[in-house]
């Protein structure tokens, strides 16, 4: 008896296409929203709301145009709504600057995506201790003194390790970038 063929739902291709485009654009989209909003909890709320609209309206997306530009436009609408709901017109930037930021983010997205991929690959090559120290410093935002205390080390030792890790990552990402 042969294998039973697995039937693929027609929406599977639609879902995979959306997820691929969204995951590639998401870091730039988050960074763009962060630049316009500032507060991390609000950034999370806005990106969540915008993501739902992006998914719900994906059938209207013109695939001949960059996904990120479309996503930035939807994000701008959510930022405006967020300001209205808080009765806050406190803009960090004018509308023209916000538009220019969206264009700039869109233009550099491919390069940033490649750099993030290279960095991710290089981080995976580090040992667990190196990744842990980088996470404590850059993801959790701990000071050198806090990392030293947490690891039972000295500030000087942590500083030297971080310097070495930065050089390793810079060399590694440079080699990956040169190979592309």
Q: What is the pLDDT of residues 122-155, one digit of tens each?
A: 888 888 889 899 988 887 888 999 999 999 999 9
Q: Are 82 and 154 contained in the same domain?
A: no
Of residues 64 and 92, the one with the higher pLDDT is 64
Q: Cβ(82)–Cβ(37) under 8 Å?
A: yes
- The Cα 18–Cα 50 span in angstroms is 14
Mean pLDDT score of the chain, rounded to an integer? 82
Give residue 87's pLDDT. Answer: 63
User: Do 103 and 135 belong to one domain?
Assistant: no
Let me know whether 104 and 20 are in one domain: yes
Question: Do residues 139 and 164 touch, judged by C-beta distance below 8 A?
Answer: no
**42 and 87 in contact (C-beta within 8 Å)?**
no
Q: What CA–CA distance (Å, rounded) separates 82 from 92? A: 14
* pLDDT tens by residue, 4-59: 444 444 466 778 888 888 988 888 888 888 888 877 788 889 999 999 999 999 98
Q: Are residues 15 and 104 in the same domain?
A: yes
Do 30 and 93 have their domain in common?
yes
Query: Is 2 a member of any domain?
Result: no
Q: In this structure, is residue 118 part of a structural domain?
A: no
DSSP code string of the chain: -PPPPPPPPHHHHHHHHHHHHHHHHHHHHHHHHHHHH--HHHHHHHHHHHHHHHHHTGGG--TTS-HHHHHHHHHHHHHHHHHHHTT----SS-HHHHHHHHHHHHHHHHHHHHHHHHHHHHHHHS-HHHHHHHIIIIIS---HHHHHHHHT--HHHHHHHHHHHHHHHHHHHHHHHHH-
Residues 104 and 142 in one domain: no
Q: Over the stretch 99-125, which tens digit does the pLDDT of each residue have?
A: 787 777 777 776 777 777 788 888 888
- Residue span of the structural domain in which 154 resides: 126-180
- 102 and 158 in a single domain? The answer is no
- For residues 81 and 132, state if they share a domain: no
| Residues recorded for the chain | 180
- Report how far residue 52's alpha carbon sits from residue 29's, in angstroms, rounded to the nearest whole number: 14
Count structural domains, the chain.
2
């Amino acid at each position: 008896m042969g294998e039973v063929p697995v039937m693929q739902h027609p929406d599977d291709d639609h879902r995979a296409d959306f997820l691929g485009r969204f995951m590639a654009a998401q870091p730039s989209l988050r960074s763009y929203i962060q630049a316009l909003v500032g507060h991390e909890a609000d950034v999370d709320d806005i990106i969540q709301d915008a993501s739902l609209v992006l998914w719900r309206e994906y059938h209207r997306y013109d695939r001949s145009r960059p996904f990120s530009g479309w996503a930035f436009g939807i994000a701008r609408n959510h930022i405006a709504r967020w300001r209205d709901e808080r009765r806050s017109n406190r803009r960090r930037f004018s509308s023209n600057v916000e538009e220019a930021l969206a264009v700039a983010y869109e233009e550099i997205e491919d390069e940033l995506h490649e750099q993030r991929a290279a960095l991710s690959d290089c981080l995976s090559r580090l040992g667990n201790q190196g990744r842990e120290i980088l996470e404590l410093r850059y993801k959790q935002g701990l000071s050198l003194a806090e990392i030293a205390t947490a690891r039972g080390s000295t500030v000087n030792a942590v500083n030297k390790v971080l310097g070495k890790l930065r050089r390793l990552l810079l060399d590694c990402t440079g080699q990956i970038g040169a190979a592309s």
